[in-house]
Structure 1
Amino acid sequence: MQSPANRGFNHRQAMTEEWFRTRVLPRVSCVRFLPYQVRQIRDEHLPAMLRDEDKKSMARIAGDLVTVSVRWRCLPFHYFRYGGYRREVSTELACSYLPETALFHRLLPRVNRDTIDLDDKTSCKKILASAGIPQPAMIASGDHRAGMTSDGEPVPLPAVLDRASGHGRVVVKPSRYSSGGSGVTITRPGESAFDLPAYARRWGTWLVEQHVTQHSDLDVLNPYGLNTFRVITLLREGAAEVLYVMLKLGGAESTTDNSAGGGMQIRVHSDGRLDRHGYDRYLNAHTRHPVSSVPFAEHRISRMTEVRELAERCARLFPQVPFIGWDIALTPGGPVVVEGNSSPSLAHIQRTHGGIAPGLVPALRSVMDRPII
């Protein structure tokens, strides 16, 4: 068998980079993550607890906090995020909720590797297109200097949207380093004064894609934005498995489906049935969307088998990233992939599926620290 060096592979450099990425960067990012956690607990989670009339006594909460902290070896911010202070939540159940610190700073760095092809939305779309994966058509992409059409033709920034004038509404979004719907803009070329050069100076790399029409099963729940499914897949030994599926509904005054804009998430069963309750970012339970009279419990989404199968197809295209959250829209013609996420929102999953640590942690550990050669 040839050595890595004989195959033209710089093994020492690869191992050094891997050590830095999995051992050093998580510690640095964990420290930087702390102010965000503090802001959230101060502005959202503690006020929600204080308003809750069904919370435990302070003595029980204090005991829970000690147990959860010891169990996960981290500050228990997630105890408040997932309502561990409520009377019906036992200490054991509170411990079943996976903290963001454990997932994003301990597990995922050793599970997902070489995520650039997935997290760069332009690269991801090209990989998906090469495999014939249905997705919103890409019109152009670029940076603050120039753009390029999907056919590879250079185009000045001011002229990009002119090329999109026949596509109706289009979506402009950052290609890298954005989350939670940040930077996503829906515009209609020729009818709005959207300034793409200014947008590119602010967000860096970007892409423009066609806006898709959603299926009537989703439109009846919330017609004011594109509502998508977040499908979580795990790839083990070449076999892709769907772990969790939730529907993300946008807020009443939002064009995106993110919880930061007033949206909510609902668990979707494999047969397309919705759970009885959807949950907003404060864990408030809703039986229907604010703009709809359709109860979640009586609603079924068609073509869910196709949605799940599409996510599994996509997962096999990124073997270096075993754990992925796919955003999939359902159109009248079937499901289309909007994008993939190497760090899918843990809050979305646990709001809809409860504490997932007993099942997810062993699954992730089974694909940790795979050989890089």
Structure 2
Amino acid sequence: MQFEDPGRIKVFLMDPNKKNSFKMCKEVLVLWMTKKEVPMYYFKHLYKKDIKNYRDYLAPKEVRTIHASKKLHKSEYTSILSNKLNFALYCEKAALSTPALIGHNFGRSFFSGKGIQKISSKGELVDFYAEIFGATDTQAIFFRPLALNGGQGCFKLDRDGFSQQLEAQFKNLLNGDYTHTEAITQHPDIDDIYSKSINTLRILTYIDGGNIDIISSFIRIGAGGSIVDNGSSGGLFVGIEQESGRLKRTGYRDMKFGGGEFEKHPDSGFRFVNFQVPFFKEACELAIDGARYIPDGFIGWDIALTPFGPTIIEGNEDPHLFMSDLAYGGLLKNLQMKKVMARL
């Protein structure tokens, strides 16, 4: 939590669920002494009355240590994960289930199955995608910037109306670098929660001595009309019980977007508790399979659920552990995470 962010400060000050001042001061001092850093992260969530195990949550220094660890990460693997085009091409070659790669662009150079085409006008761009839609059964194309994370800069073109949609995205496309993948159809049970975005599972895998273990899982859900599910774009996140594949009772939203805890989706009214995530076992198996092909020691997999099964959207070597930590209820009490920390 940054003091220069008045929005987060306001959420904290206005929250009626705060512990009393004496208790907060005591816990902050305990964390300061044990974690060896000023625990500003305490004021993101740990100040709440229902958080008894506040020492089980990761401190920023611990998160940075995980991300920087050469015991966990190798550049040969992270170079595949960190570039969305590399990742899509590698998954395609490895026959891992992932959205079909239609093409990509580096600025005005657009690549498709027919080679490279230089685009200099809106008309040429409309013609380029008219040919793609005409030659395939693709109903929509999803665009993701190669260099941005957290859902930033993503957009979609639909078969019906794509020329009008390109009016708004023309400059972005020609000034950026994007992957173009076939937009997937979401499982109807996930659509019931929120249908405007593809709502993905975040599954953490850890490799130790050749063994691949799953640490924890949660689901990210879009909100407010957004077409992306990222928490950094205002979405919600809800923990998943690893054994059963059912959602926990409470969802959360980042303080940047007003914070809050939700037992039902603010748009659809869908109640989270005990919802059985479809294909959850298969999604976990796909994450483990992905870790076999990209054996980085610690990966956060984003997996979407279609009517026919799971598909990998991306893998993250730096999976922003705050959401996993909060959704799990303190990752430092997790057996697999204890192994990670002991190794470091």
Does the pair score TM above 0.5? yes
> 1:366: Cα distance to partner?
5.6
Q: Which consecutive residues of structure 1, in runs of 5 or more, have no partner in the other structure?
A: 1-36, 369-373
Q: Is the 8 A contact 2:19 2:47 kept in 1?
A: yes
The answer to whether structure 1 residue 181 and structure 2 residue 151 are counterparts is yes
* Higher mean displacement: 48-57 or 117-126: 48-57
Q: What residue number does 2:224 align with?
A: 252
Structure 1 pair 108/351, CA: closer, same or farther in 2 (3 Å)?
same
Residue of 12, 31, 34 corresponding to 1:71 = 34
**CA distances 1:290-323 after superposition (whole Å, capped 9, x unpaired):** 232432124212211111100100011112x211
Structure 1 pair 143/235, CA: closer, same or farther in 2 (3 Å)?
same
**CA distances 1:259-297 after superposition (whole Å, capped 9, x unpaired):** 233321111224331111111113522111123243212
Structure 1 pair 152/70, CA: closer, same or farther in 2 (3 Å)?
farther
Structure 1 pair 223/145, CA: closer, same or farther in 2 (3 Å)?
closer
Residue of 60, 67, 70 corresponding to 1:100 = 60
The whole-number CA distance in structure 2 between the counterparts of 1:235 and 1:174 is 29
The amino acid across from 2:33 in the alignment is V
Residue of 35, 50, 60 corresponding to 2:23 = 60
In the superposition, the TM-score normalised over structure 2's length comes to 0.86
Percent sequence identity over aligned pairs: 23
Q: What residue number does 1:46 align with?
A: 9
SS at match of 2:165: coil
Q: What residue number does 1:281 align with?
A: 254
Q: What residue number does 1:302 align with?
A: 278
The answer to whether structure 1 residue 140 and structure 2 residue 103 are counterparts is yes
Q: What residue number does 2:178 align with?
A: 206
The amino acid across from 1:168 in the alignment is Q
Residue of 284, 287, 303 corresponding to 1:328 = 303
Q: Which consecutive residues of structure 2, in runs of 5 or more, have no partner in the other structure?
A: none
The whole-number CA distance in structure 2 between the counterparts of 1:224 and 1:209 is 17
Residue of 111, 125, 128 corresponding to 2:91 = 128
Q: Is the 8 A contact 1:212 1:331 kept in 2?
A: yes
The whole-number CA distance in structure 1 between the counterparts of 2:325 and 2:7 is 17
Residue of 189, 198, 210 corresponding to 1:217 = 189
Backbone CA RMSD of aligned residues: 2.2
**CA distances 1:22-75 after superposition (whole Å, capped 9, x unpaired):** xxxxxxxxxxxxxxx525x73343322211223223232222212111211222
Residue of 116, 127, 133 corresponding to 1:154 = 116
SS at match of 2:301: strand
Structure 1 pair 109/194, CA: closer, same or farther in 2 (3 Å)?
farther
Q: What residue number does 1:318 align with?
A: 294
The whole-number CA distance in structure 1 between the counterparts of 2:99 and 2:41 is 35
Structure 1 pair 193/44, CA: closer, same or farther in 2 (3 Å)?
same
Q: Is the 8 A contact 2:152 2:233 kept in 1?
A: no
The answer to whether structure 1 residue 118 and structure 2 residue 88 are counterparts is no
Alignment: residue pair count: 323
Q: What residue number does 1:231 align with?
A: 203
SS at match of 1:296: coil
The whole-number CA distance in structure 1 between the counterparts of 2:102 and 2:131 is 8
SS at match of 1:190: helix
The whole-number CA distance in structure 2 between the counterparts of 1:70 and 1:78 is 14
SS at match of 2:30: helix
Q: Is the 8 A contact 1:265 1:351 kept in 2?
A: no
